[in-house]
Structure 1
Amino acid sequence: MTQPRTQPRHANLPRRSPRLLAMFVRYVRRYVGKQFNAVRVLRESTCDLPSDTPVVFYVNHPSWWDPLMLALLATQRYPQRQHYAPIDAAMLGKYAFFERLGFFGIEPNSTRGAAKLLRVGQAILAQPDAALWITAEGQFTDPRLRPVQLRPGLAHLARRLPHARIVPVAIEYIFWDESTPEALMAFGDPINTAEAAKQWDVTEWQRELAHRLERTMDRLATASQTRDPALFDNLLDGRRGIGGVYDLWRRCKAWARGQRFDPSHGGSSFDNDTKEAR
C-alpha cells in the first residue's frame, strides 16, 4: 500500500512515515494470516465517503487484536487517506515506533488526556483527506454487552467538527468451521457533522453515537450467526486446515487420487473423507 504524501508539519500533528507504515502493514498481513482463517467485512455495510471530507471511525474494543485489524481495514479500504489514532501514552512509551505510524499518546481517564484528544483531533481533521480511528469504549469490552457505553471524548470532538463524517465500525472474533478464528467487521451509517453539529449538544451526541455503534454491532452479530462467508468480503485469507497428522492424511489421499488438496474443514477433501466414513 502506498501513501500519497507526507503531510505538512503542524505543531499538533503526529508524525507519519509512509514507508514505515507500509512495512508495518506487510508485517501485519503475514502475522494475522498465520493466526486467523480470514479477515472479513460485511458486504452490505460498504461505506463510500466523499474524498474531500475528513472522517472519524469509532470502533468497539473487544480485543488486543483490534489495532492490527483496523490497520488492514484502513489501508485497504481507504489507501488514499492519512490515518491517525490515539493510544494509551504508557503503551506508546513502550512501543515508540508507533509514533511514526500516526499514533499519538493520551492519558486515559484524565482531563489532560481529553484535552489532548480534542486538540490533536481537531488538527488532524482539519486535513480533508484525514481519518481518525478511535476505540471509543476506552477498554476491552465484550461485544455482547448492552447497552454500549462510550467515553465522552468522542462526543465532545464530534460537536467541534464543522465538516466531517463520523462512522461507527463494529468488530468481533468468532470460530466458524476452521481451527483458526474469523475476524469480522462492519461499517454503520455515517453522521454528517455539517447537519448535526449545530443541532445536538454533547449529551445528544453521546446518545446517538452509542446507538449507531450498538446497531452496527447487532447487525454484525446477526450476520456472524449465519456462519456464511458469502455475506462478507475478504480483506485477508489466512491459514486453513486442522494441521498435524489429520491434514497429512488428507493431503496424501488427495495426491493419490490426483486431486488438488483443499485444507479447509468444509472443503472437498473433508467431504470425501466424511462420505467414506459413512
Structure 2
Amino acid sequence: MSPPNDPVARRSPRMVPFFERVMRGQVARNFRALRVVKPGLPNLVPDRPVMVFTNHPSWWDPAVFMAVTGLLFPGRAGFGPIEAEMLKRYPFMARIGVFGVRQDGPRGAAHFLRTARHIVSEPDRILWITAQGRFADPRERPLALRPGAAHLLGRCPHVQAVPMAIEYPFWTERRPEALLAFGPPIDVAPSERPAALAGRLETALIDTADALATRAIARDPGVFDTLIDGSRGTGGVYGQWQRLRDRLAGRQHMPDHEPRP
C-alpha cells in the first residue's frame, strides 16, 4: 500500500532533470570543485535499490546529493527525507523526490519506515539519508547515527547500503572544496537485528569519514576524480585585473591561487 502523500507519485520526472542542472550550477558557482575519492562509487548490483547513508556537515548536503545523483547513479530515481515543517515551507521539493518526516517520536519513525520501504520496493531507486539527523562537524566522533537507516535495512535486506562521507574544506583557493568518499556496500543478513546493524553502519561510515579526512588534510586533488569543476580565481575587480595583466604580458592566465598540474 502506498503511504499518504506518496513521494513516488508526487515526484515529477520532468522537473527532476531541471533541478539537477540547477544544483550542479549552484555547486559550480560556490565551490572550487566537487570531487570524489578514487576509485569512486563501488560496484553495485543494478537490479537492487540503493540507500546511501551519510554524515551531515552542512546545509549544502541535499544540494550535493541532487547534483551527483544523475552523474553517479544514472537511471535511478532519487528520494530523500526532510523535516516535515521544512517541506511545508518549500512544497515544490516534493516534486523532486523529497518527502517530509515528522520529529514526533514513534509516529514519525513509523511514517518514515513506511515511506522508505515503499520507495525501495523497486530496484531503480536510490534513497539518500543524512543518517546523523542533525548538522555535525565532519570530524566529530562518534557519529551517533539515528536508528532509522538500520531499522529500514532490517526490514529490507535486499537494499544495497552504501556509506558516503562528505566534507567542505578550504584548501588554497577562495572557494571551498566539496569532497566525497564512498565505502564498500553493507551486506545485510535477513535475520540481523537493527541494533547490530546500527553498530555496523556507524563503523562503516566512521571508516569512510576517516579516510576522507586523511585525504582532505593532504590537499592532493590527484587522489580524487573531479565530478564538477567549479569557480576559479579571486573574481571581482582583482580577478579582472589579473586577467588583463596576463593578456598584456602575453602569458596564459592561470586563475587558481596555486596552479596545479
TM-score range, shorter chain: over 0.9
Instruction: State the 1:211 CA deviation.
Output: 0.5
What letter corresponds to residue 222 of structure 1 in structure 2?
A: T
Aligned residues of 1:39 and 1:184 also touching (Cα < 8 A): yes
Counterpart in 2 of 1:266? 258
Q: Which amino acid in structure 2 is aligned with residue 46 of structure 1?
A: L
**Which residue of the partner structure matches residue 49 of structure 1?**
44
The aligned counterpart of 2:74 is 79
Q: Which residue of 2 aligns with 1:276?
A: none
Aligned twin of 2:214: 222
What residue identity is the alignment partner of 1:197? P
Indicate the SS of the match to 2:14. helix
Residue aligning to 1:39? 34
For residue 192 of structure 1, the aligned residue among 187, 192, 211 is 187
Partner of 1:183: 178
Among 22, 27, 33, the alignment partner of 1:27 is 22
Distance 1:63 1:56 in 2: 20
Which residue in 2 is equivalent to 1:11?
A: 2
Q: Is residue 81–residue 129 contact of structure 2 (8 Å, CA) maintained in 1?
A: yes
TM-score by length of 2: 0.94
Corresponding residue number in structure 1 for 2:132: 137
Q: Deviations over 1:110-133 (max 9, x none)?
A: 211110111111111110111111
Match of residue 91, structure 1, among 86, 90, 110: 86
The equivalent residue for 1:271 is none
Q: Over the residues paired in the alignment, what is the CA RMSD in angstroms?
A: 1.5
Q: For residues 130 and 148 of structure 2, what CA distance do their matches in structure 1 show?
A: 11
Deviates more, 1:247-256 or 1:122-131: 247-256
TM-aligned CA deviation for residue 213 of structure 1: 0.4
Q: Provide runs of 4+ in structure 1 moved above 4 Å.
A: none
Matched-pair contact (CA < 8 Å) for 2:154–2:190: yes
Aligned length: 256
Deviation of the 1:245 alpha carbon: 4.2
Partner of 2:108: 113
The alignment status of 1:235 with 2:230, answered yes or no, reads no
Give the 3-state SS of the residue equivalent to 1:169 in structure 2: strand
User: 2:77·2:124 contact (CA, 8 Å) conserved in 1?
Assistant: yes
Structure 2: runs of 5+ lacking an equivalent: none
2:150 is aligned with 1:155 = yes
Cα distance in 2, alignment partners of residues 143 and 109 from structure 1: 26
Which residue of the other structure, out of 150, 157, 164, is the alignment partner of 2:159? 164
Q: Which residue of 2 aligns with 1:6?
A: none
Question: TM-score by structure 1 length?
Answer: 0.88
Unmatched 5+ residue regions in structure 1?
Answer: 1-9, 269-278
> Is the radius of gyration larger for structure 1 or structure 2?
1
Superposed CA offset, 1:85-120 (max 9, x none)? 111100000000011111111112521111011111
Inter-partner Cα distance in structure 2 for 1:66 and 1:131: 16
Q: Give the distance between the partners of 1:156 and 1:135, measured in 2 at CA.
A: 15
Q: Residue 44 of structure 1: SS of its match in structure 2?
A: coil
Matched residue type, 2:163? P
Q: CA deviation at 1:44?
A: 2.9
- Say which is worse superposed, 104-113 or 79-88, in terms of deviation: 104-113
Distance 2:196 2:257 in 1: 47
Deviations 1:213-253 (A, max 9, x none): 00000000001111111111111111111234432332122
Name the SS for the 1:185 alignment partner: strand
Aligned to 1:62: 57
